[in-house]
Structure 1
Amino acid sequence: MLEKRATIEGSIHKRTPQRPASVPTDIYISNKSKQAAIVKRVRRLMLKENHKSVVIHGLGAMVIRAISMALAAQIALENQIILRPTTETISLIDDIVPDDMEKDLETQRRQNSIIHIKLEAKDGLVELQRKTGQIIHHPSRNRRSRRWQ
């Protein structure tokens, strides 16, 4: 039987969820992620850097956006990738900061959905990767060192 949450006297501070050390082929979707940028990143990773798979992660409300971005990447790569989604539920911890400073800080747990979509290259894309070879990616303008004279 589900229990109702007690009324909270104070403000809730949501902690950032723990995630494992990121690899270059992991893409985490946030509400600021632009679809065109994510699709471009997937194309670069799979075509230019010759990665066989890329994983897109979405948490909570970003599950739907992660799915739409994975589908957009599949269309951009002309259906040469296979989507393998897995879902799970994780526990997140919130801090409750009381209005009354005399009281102690409390925590509460809540459940949230998460999706991991593995984009795997089909044989046709692997063949294209082999033909094009690895293309050296130039650093972005933000990382380029400039000397002011």
Structure 2
Amino acid sequence: MTEKRTPVQGSIHKRAPQRPATVPTDIYISGKSKSNAIIKRVTRLMLKENHKSVTIHGLGAMVIRATSMALAAQEALENQVVLKPVTETIALTDDIIPDDMDKDLETQKRNSSIIHIKLEAKDGLAELQQRTGKIIHHPSRNRRSRRWL
């Protein structure tokens, strides 16, 4: 049986969750993520850059958005990808900043849901890739190195 947390005397500062090192095929969904941009990125990675799989990650409230974006990407790729979701619960750490400055900082743990949706290419995706044509450079790898003239 789970225990309730005790009331906090002060303010709570939520730490950013730990992420493993990312690869170009990992897409993390946040509250600021634009649905159309994510769908375009998935289609570009799978059609233009010929990646066999892309993984969409969602944490907490973004689990629902991640699933809807994965379904939209599947539809944009003409159902030529298979969705393989994995859910889990992770422990997150929060800092408690006390109102009384004489007290020490404390931490507390809380649980949050997380989802990883792997989009894997079916055999029919190769036909879509041939129709769209391959690009020579990889814009997903050098997004920040653009120079403005």
Same fold, TM-score > 0.5, yes or no: yes
Percent of counterpart pairs with the same letter?
76
Report the Cα distance in structure 2 between the residues aligned to 1:94 and 1:37, rounded to whole angstroms.
Answer: 31
Report the Cα distance in structure 1 between the residues aligned to 2:24 and 2:8, rounded to whole angstroms.
Answer: 40
Letter in 1 for 2:40: K
Report the Cα distance in structure 2 between the residues aligned to 1:14 and 1:138, rounded to whole angstroms.
Answer: 35
CA change 1:60–1:146 in 2 (3 A) is: closer
Deviation at 1:127, TM superposition (A): 3.6
Could you say what secondary structure the match of 1:74 adopts?
helix
Q: Which runs of 5+ in 2 are unaligned?
A: none
Report the Cα distance in structure 2 between the residues aligned to 1:19 and 1:141, rounded to whole angstroms.
Answer: 20
Letter in 2 for 1:62: M
Q: What corresponds to 1:55 in structure 2?
A: 55
Mapping of residues 130-145 of structure 1, within 5 Å: 134-137=134-137, 143-145=145-147
Q: What corresponds to 2:96 in structure 1?
A: 96
Report the Cα distance in structure 2 between the residues aligned to 1:95 and 1:6, rounded to whole angstroms.
Answer: 14
Pairing 1:11–2:11 present:
yes
Q: What corresponds to 1:80 in structure 2?
A: 80
State the superposition RMSD in angstroms. 2.0
**TM-score normalised to the size of structure 1?**
0.91
CA contact (8 A) 2:49 2:138 kept: no
The runs of at least 4 aligned residues of structure 1 exceeding 6 Å deviation read none
Report the Cα distance in structure 2 between the residues aligned to 1:90 and 1:141, rounded to whole angstroms.
Answer: 30
Q: What corresponds to 2:125 in structure 1?
A: 125
Letter in 1 for 2:65: R
CA change 1:119–1:106 in 2 (3 A) is: same
Report the Cα distance in structure 2 between the residues aligned to 1:56 and 1:22, rounded to whole angstroms.
Answer: 12
Q: Figure out how many residues of one structure are paired with residues of the other and give that number.
A: 147
Report the Cα distance in structure 2 between the residues aligned to 1:71 and 1:62, rounded to whole angstroms.
Answer: 14
CA contact (8 A) 2:57 2:114 kept: yes
Deviation at 1:63, TM superposition (A): 0.2
> CA offsets per residue over residues 84-113 of structure 1, 9 Å max, x none?
000000000000000000000000000000
Letter in 2 for 1:41: R
Report the Cα distance in structure 2 between the residues aligned to 1:142 and 1:28, rounded to whole angstroms.
Answer: 17
Q: Which runs of 5+ in 1 are unaligned?
A: none
Deviation at 1:128, TM superposition (A): 3.2
**TM-score normalised to the size of structure 2?**
0.91
Deviation at 1:4, TM superposition (A): 1.7
